[in-house]
Protein backbone atom coordinates (compact mmCIF):
# COMPACT_ATOMS: atom_id res chain seq x y z
CA UNK A 1 0.00 0.00 0.00
CA UNK A 2 2.80 2.42 0.88
CA UNK A 3 4.52 1.78 -2.42
CA UNK A 4 1.35 2.61 -4.39
CA UNK A 5 0.87 5.75 -2.32
CA UNK A 6 4.47 6.79 -3.00
CA UNK A 7 4.09 6.40 -6.78
CA UNK A 8 0.79 8.30 -6.74
CA UNK A 9 2.26 11.08 -4.60
CA UNK A 10 5.22 11.49 -6.95
CA UNK A 11 2.88 11.72 -9.95
CA UNK A 12 0.74 14.29 -8.12
CA UNK A 13 3.77 16.42 -7.24
CA UNK A 14 5.13 16.25 -10.80
CA UNK A 15 1.87 17.29 -12.46
CA UNK A 16 1.03 19.88 -9.83
CA UNK A 17 4.49 21.47 -10.10
CA UNK A 18 4.16 21.63 -13.89
CA UNK A 19 0.76 23.36 -13.78
CA UNK A 20 1.48 25.54 -10.74
CA UNK A 21 4.80 26.91 -11.99
CA UNK A 22 3.31 27.49 -15.42
CA UNK A 23 0.54 29.55 -13.83
CA UNK A 24 2.97 31.45 -11.60
CA UNK A 25 5.15 32.28 -14.59
CA UNK A 26 2.19 33.74 -16.48
CA UNK A 27 1.16 35.73 -13.40
CA UNK A 28 4.66 37.12 -12.86
CA UNK A 29 5.03 38.12 -16.52
CA UNK A 30 1.64 39.84 -16.45
CA UNK A 31 -0.13 37.55 -18.92
CA UNK A 32 -2.70 36.70 -16.24
CA UNK A 33 -4.21 38.76 -13.44
CA UNK A 34 -3.49 37.83 -9.84
CA UNK A 35 -7.16 38.28 -9.06
CA UNK A 36 -7.93 35.39 -11.41
CA UNK A 37 -5.43 33.02 -9.76
CA UNK A 38 -7.88 31.47 -7.26
CA UNK A 39 -10.06 30.36 -10.13
CA UNK A 40 -7.18 28.36 -11.63
CA UNK A 41 -6.22 26.57 -8.39
CA UNK A 42 -8.93 23.88 -8.66
CA UNK A 43 -7.54 23.00 -12.09
CA UNK A 44 -3.90 23.13 -10.95
CA UNK A 45 -4.47 20.72 -8.07
CA UNK A 46 -7.63 18.93 -9.23
CA UNK A 47 -6.24 17.39 -12.42
CA UNK A 48 -3.10 15.95 -10.72
CA UNK A 49 -5.26 14.64 -7.88
CA UNK A 50 -7.64 12.82 -10.22
CA UNK A 51 -4.79 11.31 -12.26
CA UNK A 52 -2.95 10.24 -9.11
CA UNK A 53 -6.05 8.55 -7.68
CA UNK A 54 -6.50 6.61 -10.92
CA UNK A 55 -2.87 5.52 -10.79
CA UNK A 56 -3.27 4.43 -7.16
CA UNK A 57 -6.36 2.35 -8.02
CA UNK A 58 -4.64 0.71 -11.01
CA UNK A 59 -1.51 -0.15 -9.00
CA UNK A 60 -3.59 -1.50 -6.12
CA UNK A 61 -5.66 -3.73 -8.41
CA UNK A 62 -2.55 -4.94 -10.21
CA UNK A 63 -0.86 -5.76 -6.90
CA UNK A 64 -3.91 -7.60 -5.56
CA UNK A 65 -4.07 -9.79 -8.69
CA UNK A 66 -0.33 -10.44 -8.79
CA UNK A 67 0.67 -14.01 -7.77
CA UNK A 68 3.45 -12.50 -5.65
CA UNK A 69 1.02 -10.43 -3.60
CA UNK A 70 1.14 -11.25 0.10
CA UNK A 71 -0.82 -10.15 3.11
CA UNK A 72 2.23 -9.53 5.25
CA UNK A 73 2.77 -5.98 6.40
CA UNK A 74 6.27 -4.72 6.81
CA UNK A 75 8.19 -1.51 6.82
CA UNK A 76 8.63 0.10 3.42
CA UNK A 77 11.55 2.41 2.84
CA UNK A 78 12.07 4.30 -0.41
CA UNK A 79 15.44 3.45 -1.96
CA UNK A 80 17.76 6.41 -2.44
CA UNK A 81 18.02 5.95 -6.24
CA UNK A 82 14.23 5.97 -6.43
CA UNK A 83 14.06 9.17 -4.39
CA UNK A 84 16.75 10.79 -6.54
CA UNK A 85 14.98 9.83 -9.79
CA UNK A 86 11.68 11.10 -8.40
CA UNK A 87 13.21 14.46 -7.48
CA UNK A 88 14.72 14.74 -10.97
CA UNK A 89 11.32 14.01 -12.58
CA UNK A 90 9.60 16.58 -10.37
CA UNK A 91 12.32 19.11 -11.19
CA UNK A 92 11.99 18.50 -14.91
CA UNK A 93 8.22 18.89 -14.69
CA UNK A 94 8.68 22.15 -12.79
CA UNK A 95 11.11 23.41 -15.45
CA UNK A 96 8.68 22.35 -18.17
CA UNK A 97 5.93 24.27 -16.41
CA UNK A 98 8.08 27.41 -16.34
CA UNK A 99 8.82 27.04 -20.06
CA UNK A 100 5.16 26.39 -20.87
CA UNK A 101 4.10 29.41 -18.81
CA UNK A 102 6.74 31.60 -20.46
CA UNK A 103 5.66 30.54 -23.97
CA UNK A 104 1.97 31.06 -23.25
CA UNK A 105 2.70 34.41 -21.61
CA UNK A 106 4.66 35.62 -24.64
CA UNK A 107 1.83 34.70 -27.01
CA UNK A 108 -0.79 36.37 -24.81
CA UNK A 109 1.31 39.51 -24.34
CA UNK A 110 1.91 39.79 -28.08
CA UNK A 111 -1.83 39.46 -28.73
CA UNK A 112 -2.64 42.06 -26.06
CA UNK A 113 -0.03 44.42 -27.47
CA UNK A 114 -1.39 44.05 -31.00
CA UNK A 115 -4.95 44.70 -29.80
CA UNK A 116 -3.79 47.75 -27.84
CA UNK A 117 -1.91 49.13 -30.85
CA UNK A 118 -4.93 48.58 -33.08
CA UNK A 119 -7.19 50.39 -30.60
CA UNK A 120 -4.73 53.27 -30.39
CA UNK A 121 -4.53 53.47 -34.18
CA UNK A 122 -8.33 53.66 -34.37
CA UNK A 123 -8.36 56.43 -31.76
CA UNK A 124 -5.68 58.37 -33.62
CA UNK A 125 -7.59 58.04 -36.88
CA UNK A 126 -10.78 59.20 -35.20
CA UNK A 127 -9.01 62.18 -33.62
CA UNK A 128 -7.38 63.10 -36.94
CA UNK A 129 -10.77 62.94 -38.66
CA UNK A 130 -12.32 65.08 -35.93
CA UNK A 131 -9.58 67.70 -36.29
CA UNK A 132 -9.88 67.66 -40.06
CA UNK A 133 -13.62 68.26 -39.88
CA UNK A 134 -13.15 71.00 -37.25
CA UNK A 135 -10.71 72.83 -39.52
CA UNK A 136 -13.12 72.85 -42.45
CA UNK A 137 -15.43 75.74 -43.33
CA UNK A 138 -19.21 75.20 -43.31
CA UNK A 139 -19.16 75.04 -47.11
CA UNK A 140 -16.42 72.42 -47.06
CA UNK A 141 -18.29 70.38 -44.46
CA UNK A 142 -21.44 70.54 -46.57
CA UNK A 143 -19.46 69.46 -49.62
CA UNK A 144 -17.87 66.66 -47.60
CA UNK A 145 -21.30 65.49 -46.42
CA UNK A 146 -22.62 65.51 -49.97
CA UNK A 147 -19.62 63.52 -51.17
CA UNK A 148 -20.10 60.91 -48.44
CA UNK A 149 -23.79 60.64 -49.24
CA UNK A 150 -22.95 60.04 -52.89
CA UNK A 151 -20.43 57.40 -51.90
CA UNK A 152 -22.99 55.72 -49.65
CA UNK A 153 -25.60 55.81 -52.41
CA UNK A 154 -23.12 54.41 -54.92
CA UNK A 155 -22.16 51.63 -52.52
CA UNK A 156 -25.81 50.85 -51.83
CA UNK A 157 -26.41 50.77 -55.58
CA UNK A 158 -23.53 48.35 -56.06
CA UNK A 159 -24.88 46.11 -53.31
CA UNK A 160 -28.36 46.20 -54.85
CA UNK A 161 -26.98 45.40 -58.31
CA UNK A 162 -24.92 42.52 -56.93
CA UNK A 163 -27.98 41.14 -55.14
CA UNK A 164 -30.09 41.48 -58.27
CA UNK A 165 -27.40 39.76 -60.34
CA UNK A 166 -27.20 36.94 -57.85
CA UNK A 167 -30.97 36.51 -57.86
CA UNK A 168 -30.98 36.50 -61.67
CA UNK A 169 -28.30 33.83 -61.68
CA UNK A 170 -30.29 31.74 -59.21
CA UNK A 171 -33.42 32.07 -61.35
CA UNK A 172 -31.43 31.21 -64.48
CA UNK A 173 -29.98 28.09 -62.85
CA UNK A 174 -33.42 27.05 -61.62
CA UNK A 175 -34.88 27.58 -65.10
CA UNK A 176 -32.05 25.62 -66.73
CA UNK A 177 -32.52 22.80 -64.24
CA UNK A 178 -36.26 22.76 -64.89
CA UNK A 179 -35.69 22.67 -68.67
CA UNK A 180 -33.14 19.88 -68.25
CA UNK A 181 -35.59 17.80 -66.22
CA UNK A 182 -38.22 18.44 -68.89
CA UNK A 183 -35.85 17.12 -71.57
CA UNK A 184 -35.11 14.04 -69.48
CA UNK A 185 -38.84 13.42 -69.09
CA UNK A 186 -39.23 13.94 -72.86
CA UNK A 187 -36.61 11.24 -73.45
CA UNK A 188 -38.29 8.82 -71.01
CA UNK A 189 -41.72 9.29 -72.57
CA UNK A 190 -40.24 8.81 -76.04
CA UNK A 191 -38.57 5.59 -74.92
CA UNK A 192 -41.85 4.22 -73.59
CA UNK A 193 -43.67 5.07 -76.83
CA UNK A 194 -40.84 3.52 -78.86
CA UNK A 195 -40.97 0.29 -76.90
CA UNK A 196 -44.75 0.07 -77.03
CA UNK A 197 -44.68 0.57 -80.82
CA UNK A 198 -42.53 -2.52 -81.31
CA UNK A 199 -44.05 -5.84 -82.35
CA UNK A 200 -42.58 -7.51 -79.27
CA UNK A 201 -42.16 -4.82 -76.58
CA UNK A 202 -40.85 -7.34 -74.05
CA UNK A 203 -37.88 -8.11 -76.29
CA UNK A 204 -36.70 -4.50 -76.63
CA UNK A 205 -33.35 -3.79 -74.98
CA UNK A 206 -32.18 -0.20 -75.02
CA UNK A 207 -28.43 -0.07 -75.60
CA UNK A 208 -27.91 3.72 -75.58
CA UNK A 209 -30.10 6.73 -74.92
CA UNK A 210 -28.33 10.04 -75.58
CA UNK A 211 -29.83 13.45 -74.86
CA UNK A 212 -28.27 16.13 -77.07
CA UNK A 213 -27.83 19.80 -76.18
CA UNK A 214 -30.62 20.84 -78.57
CA UNK A 215 -33.10 18.43 -76.95
CA UNK A 216 -32.81 15.66 -79.55
CA UNK A 217 -32.88 12.11 -78.15
CA UNK A 218 -31.01 9.34 -79.98
CA UNK A 219 -31.95 5.72 -79.21
CA UNK A 220 -30.08 2.53 -80.05
CA UNK A 221 -31.74 -0.79 -79.21
CA UNK A 222 -32.18 -4.45 -80.05
CA UNK A 223 -35.60 -5.99 -80.62
CA UNK A 224 -37.15 -9.10 -82.16
CA UNK A 225 -38.82 -8.91 -85.55
CA UNK A 226 -41.81 -10.87 -86.82
CA UNK A 227 -39.67 -13.99 -87.29
CA UNK A 228 -38.30 -13.89 -83.74
CA UNK A 229 -34.81 -12.76 -84.75
CA UNK A 230 -33.21 -10.12 -82.54
CA UNK A 231 -31.90 -7.27 -84.67
CA UNK A 232 -30.32 -3.87 -83.89
CA UNK A 233 -32.25 -0.69 -84.49
CA UNK A 234 -32.13 3.06 -83.94
CA UNK A 235 -34.56 5.92 -83.48
CA UNK A 236 -34.38 9.68 -83.15
CA UNK A 237 -36.80 11.92 -81.26
CA UNK A 238 -36.89 15.70 -81.76
CA UNK A 239 -39.31 18.60 -81.94
CA UNK A 240 -40.39 20.56 -85.01
CA UNK A 241 -42.38 23.72 -84.27
CA UNK A 242 -42.94 22.47 -80.71
CA UNK A 243 -44.33 19.17 -82.02
CA UNK A 244 -42.50 15.94 -81.09
CA UNK A 245 -41.38 13.79 -84.01
CA UNK A 246 -40.16 10.19 -83.70
CA UNK A 247 -38.35 8.59 -86.66
CA UNK A 248 -37.53 4.87 -86.49
CA UNK A 249 -34.92 3.19 -88.66
CA UNK A 250 -37.14 0.28 -89.75
CA UNK A 251 -40.14 2.45 -90.56
CA UNK A 252 -39.01 5.85 -91.81
CA UNK A 253 -36.14 4.96 -94.12
CA UNK A 254 -34.49 8.00 -95.73
CA UNK A 255 -36.16 10.49 -93.40
CA UNK A 256 -34.66 8.65 -90.44
CA UNK A 257 -31.21 8.50 -92.07
CA UNK A 258 -31.23 12.23 -92.80
CA UNK A 259 -32.36 13.11 -89.27
CA UNK A 260 -29.91 10.65 -87.67
CA UNK A 261 -26.93 11.96 -89.65
CA UNK A 262 -27.87 15.55 -88.83
CA UNK A 263 -28.75 15.17 -85.17
CA UNK A 264 -27.05 12.03 -83.80
CA UNK A 265 -24.16 10.79 -85.93
CA UNK A 266 -20.68 11.60 -84.54
CA UNK A 267 -22.16 13.65 -81.70
CA UNK A 268 -22.03 13.20 -77.95
CA UNK A 269 -24.68 13.94 -75.36
CA UNK A 270 -25.90 13.12 -71.90
CA UNK A 271 -26.14 9.37 -71.37
CA UNK A 272 -29.61 8.51 -70.05
CA UNK A 273 -29.39 4.77 -70.71
CA UNK A 274 -29.35 3.63 -67.09
CA UNK A 275 -32.06 6.10 -66.05
CA UNK A 276 -34.30 5.12 -68.95
CA UNK A 277 -33.92 1.37 -68.42
CA UNK A 278 -34.65 1.82 -64.72
CA UNK A 279 -37.82 3.80 -65.49
CA UNK A 280 -39.01 1.24 -68.05
CA UNK A 281 -38.45 -1.88 -65.93
CA UNK A 282 -39.24 -0.76 -62.39
The Cα–Cα gap between 29 and 282 comes to 75
| Nearest-10 crossing angle of helices 37-65, 2-29 | 160
Residue 192 main-chain phi, psi, to 5 deg: -65, -45
Residue 5 burial by Cβ neighbours in a 10 Å radius (0-12, 13-18, 19+):
middle
What would the DSSP string read from start to end of 200-235?
Answer: SGGG-EEEEEEE-TTS-EEEEEEEE-TTS-EEEEEE
| Domain residue ranges in the chain | 2-65+80-128, 179-281
Residue 76 pLDDT exceeds 70:
no
**In the structure, what pLDDT confidence band is assigned to residue 72 with cuts at 50, 70 and 90?**
very low
pLDDT in tens, 249-266: 988 989 999 999 999 999
What pLDDT, on a 0 to 100 scale, did the predictor assign at position 18?
93
pLDDT in tens, 150-199: 999 999 999 999 999 999 999 999 999 999 999 999 999 999 999 998 88
- Specify the 3-state DSSP secondary structure of 24: helix
**CA-closest candidate to residue 218, choices 256, 258, 252, 260:** 260
The Cα–Cα gap between 193 and 201 comes to 10
Residue 93 pLDDT exceeds 60:
yes
Amino acid sequence: MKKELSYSAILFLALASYLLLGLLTELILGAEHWSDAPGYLPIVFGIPAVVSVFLFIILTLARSRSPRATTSVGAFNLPRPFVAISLVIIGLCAAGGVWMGYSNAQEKLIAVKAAREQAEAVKRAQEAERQRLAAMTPEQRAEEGARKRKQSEAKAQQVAEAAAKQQAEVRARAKAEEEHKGRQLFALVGAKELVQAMKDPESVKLRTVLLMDDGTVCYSYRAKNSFGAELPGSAVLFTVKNRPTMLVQEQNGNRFVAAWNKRCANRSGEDLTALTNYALHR
